[in-house]
Amino acid sequence: MYEHPFIYGRQGPPRTVLYPGYYSNLTSHSVFADSMLYCPYTYYRQFPEVDPTLFKQSAEEMRILMKDASLILAKLADSREFTKKVMAAAQASNDQEVERLLKTTGIQSKVKATFNPDGLNLHLEASVKGSKSSILTIALRWR
């Protein structure tokens, strides 16, 4: 049952209207009752046709970024000397040396390294048709 105090535009005592299939203990003061029994939108939203071309290209570029990230991580994990050089350059705030060292791992994508006293953040970027389509960020701690 749904009690509505203003049925047919006339104020007065609440009248009871039965809506089949709904709860019988809802009152007019219930927000749940109002939202459940009244829906102004009776049409269905039409979505445009999807074009997965850019999404697919972005996924392909991300695959390349993941391979490049794997190369960097393998070099950092396997070579203590390389890791020491990267840390020393980062502590000296030598951005260009850090990026040059990372490029020597054989990566193809653009890499930007940022660092702080706690660690190193690597941002690998790929672009499709001149716009950034994929970005992979790796955060490594050294302290």
Per the CB < 8 A criterion, the answer to whether 113 and 122 are in contact is yes
How many contiguous H segments (helices) and E segments (strands) does the chain have?
Answer: 4, 5
* 7: pLDDT strictly greater than 90: no
| Residue of 67, 116, 59 whose CA lies nearest to 93 | 116
Distance between CA atoms of residues 71 and 102, nearest Å: 9
What average pLDDT does the segment 87-97 reach?
92
Query: Mean of the per-residue pLDDT values for the chain?
Result: 80
Stronger pLDDT, 129 or 136, i.e. the higher one: 136
What average pLDDT does the segment 81-98 reach?
94
Residue where the block lists tokens 């102004």: 40
What average pLDDT does the segment 60-78 reach?
95
What average pLDDT does the segment 24-49 reach?
59
